[in-house]
Amino acid sequence: MSTFSNAVKGVANPANPGRLISQFAPLALALLVAGILPSFVDNYWIQIASLACIYWVLIAGLNLIVGYAGQLAIGFVGLLAIGAYTAAILCEKLGVPSLVALVLAGCSGAFFGFVIGLPSLRLKNFYFAMTTLGFATIVTQVALGWESLTGGGIGLPGPVFPAPFNSSIGFYYLVLAMALIATYLLRNIAISNFGRGLIAVRDAEVAAEAMGVPVVRLKLVTFTFSGGLAGLAGALYAARQTYITPDAFTFDLSVMFFIAVLIGGRGRIVGPMVGTAILTLLPEIAAPLVAWSTFAYGLLLLLVVLIVPGGMADYLDRIFKKRPIANRITAPKVGVISAVISRAGDKAATPLIVKNVALAFGGVRALDGVDLEVQPGTIHGLIGPNGSGKTTLLNVISGYYAANQGTICFGEHDIAGLPVQSRSRLGIARTFQTPRVLGNLSVLENAMLGAYSQFSSSFPLTALGLPDSRREDKAIRERAYQALTAVGLAHCAECRADQLQHTEQRFLEIARCLVMQPKILLLDEPAAGLAHNEIENLGTLIEEMCALGVAVLLIEHHTDLVFRISDHVTVLNLGKVLASGTPSEVRTNKEVINAYLGT
């Protein structure tokens, strides 16, 4: 086994015993307590524990939507109602066996979860939240008005499960098993490529697209999965209630689900689980205050947002998470890059050719007939005054802006009409003027995001935790650690990314691009804020990548760096090419001196 493999096992491998203990100890303790609970409490508290398990089945899925993807889905009680009525109607009207009805309720929840997810592609934040609340209202109104099917205000009897699940204890162990399965699926997704992709969508959607995350597809798959869990929870809820009516699915219940995720912590598992247990028990402990439940939930939501916006788990994570050592030195090891970029042979026929590209914002022509060519294994510097169109050109090449005219070819591909994610899959990687890192993920997990488009395991197989997906994740983890070693951040691999200094975050972005194994790297002012020795290190990294066949398009105001390492330099001014040639030719060009370099 290589030196790097040994390093990964000791520092960042999920198979590390200490890491496993820290991850699974809370869940193992919760399982132990839940398993022996019926031996110590009466039937009343078993019923309450069953309700908490049912709620957690739904909240486990909602956690992916709210906690990981950052979508304000407040109306998931509508999916709970759909699952409950599906199971009740199938059993009561059609005589379908209750266990079969349970599965079909999950399917109906998945379908309507997909339907709820569609507005999230266009609506953001509170607009989407209102849409989900409207959906929940529609569901309850349909249940109330369609008396021939749902029983209207009178309702329907819930499904009755066969022995041994027809007793309180038997039913409790059934819902506990469902809760454990939901937790297992959630955990597998959360620590996988898909979990990192969801957090990227939540915290830095622009960077997520640049790393190849298919935002639309990932959102819809996640909503479908979460809707399936909500449908299962609805069927179990109907069985537990024994009889369901529309007024069982209240606004208070919807808000409770949402708060359980927020109070526990976004992007966490144990925190929302504890939040679910607390909010299920609270009405039983404080029964005299039940009439004030809406006010209490609203107050609790306000306190969470104001005092611990990241939830209790995030607050504890900031306290106990490993911190970077003080007075640390970023020491890149450029020789390691060859272990990360292993596809140099693929890059020989992939030049970037930009011809006559123009883009106008209203009456302002940000780009006006720009021509540019970047050959594999070369560094092309792009300089010019602020507002000259440099970053706009990068955004056009990356796919964030659509050019009004002109062509952009990458190798044999005309990429002008391709979305951002498709361009990244072709091997186009980029950094940003302001580093786009995911603060509450570790440095290593940020770097791993670069390999998103190379992860071949499907969402269902990853959720099931099958060996192939685990092997892929392990390989990506090792490559990401090598990339961090190359840029000098291996000692911070397990630290939160928001604990890094600004300059370290810039090198982290480069490491993430290295993990992509890019054919061309678009660097947008990577030396901004770096000290002199860090700029030297950056230049060495870029030259080493170039030597391995990677094309580099470098936007930078540190002209000494640009002229020192570039093979070709293009100067933009007011959206037009002012000059283009070798560094020595551009440096002595009078128009460039007058417009940008000065005397």
Q: pLDDT: is 557 or 236 the higher one? A: 236
Nearest-angstrom CA–CA distance, 45 and 27:
21
Structure confidence at residue 198 as a pLDDT band (50, 70, 90): very high
- In the numeric block, the tokens 């930009």 are attached to 354
Q: pLDDT: is 66 or 343 the higher one? A: 66
- According to the model, what pLDDT value does residue 231 have? 95
Over residues 410-438, the pLDDT tens digits come to 888 888 888 888 888 888 999 998 888 88
- At residue 494, what is the residue type? E
On the CB side of 549, how many CA atoms lie within 13 Å of its CA? 16
**Average pLDDT over every residue of 180-203:** 91
H or E element that contains 421 = helix 420-425
- According to the model, what pLDDT value does residue 207 have? 87
- Judged against a pLDDT cut of 80, whether residue 10 lies above it is answered with no
**Average pLDDT over every residue of 332-351:** 69
Cβ(551)–Cβ(376) below 8 Å:
yes
Of 24-28, 349-353, 477-481, 520-524, the one with minimum mean pLDDT is: 24-28
291 three-class SS: helix
Q: Which residues lie closer than 8 Å to 62 by C-beta, 6 or more apart? A: 73, 76, 226, 230, 257, 258, 261
DSSP assignment string, 225-252? HHHHHHHHHHHHHHHHHSEE-GGGS-HH
User: DSSP code of 75?
Assistant: -
Cβ(129)–Cβ(103) below 8 Å:
no
Cβ(62)–Cβ(116) below 8 Å:
no
- According to the model, what pLDDT value does residue 11 have? 39
Quick one: 32 exposed, middle or buried, by C-beta within 10 A (0-12, 13-18, 19+)? exposed
- At residue 575, what is the residue type? G
- What residue segments make up the domains of the chain, in order of their start? 41-320, 336-597
Cβ(224)–Cβ(73) below 8 Å:
no
For residue 523, what are the β-bridge partners? 554
- Judged against a pLDDT cut of 80, whether residue 388 lies above it is answered with yes
- Judged against a pLDDT cut of 90, whether residue 338 lies above it is answered with no
Nearest-angstrom CA–CA distance, 351 and 579:
20
Closest C-alpha among 267, 273, 274, 278 to residue 317: 267
Nearest-angstrom CA–CA distance, 579 and 591:
8
Cβ(106)–Cβ(224) below 8 Å:
no
Over residues 503-526, the pLDDT tens digits come to 889 999 999 999 998 999 999 999
Over residues 292-328, the pLDDT tens digits come to 666 666 677 677 666 666 666 666 666 556 666 666 6
DSSP assignment string, 159-224? P-PPTTTTSHHHHHHHHHHHHHHHHHHHHHHHTSHHHHHHHHHHH-HHHHHHTT--HHHHHHHHHH
β-sheet with 576-581: strand ranges across: 428-430, 520-524, 551-555, 379-383, 568-573, 576-581
- According to the model, what pLDDT value does residue 314 have? 65
Query: Under CATH, what is the fold of the domain 41-320?
Result: ABC transporter involved in vitamin B12 uptake, BtuC (1.10.3470)
H or E element that contains 551 = strand 551-555
Nearest-angstrom CA–CA distance, 294 and 274:
20
- In the numeric block, the tokens 């306000």 are attached to 302
CATH of domain 336-597: 3.40.50.300
- According to the model, what pLDDT value does residue 511 have? 92
H or E element that contains 304 = helix 293-307
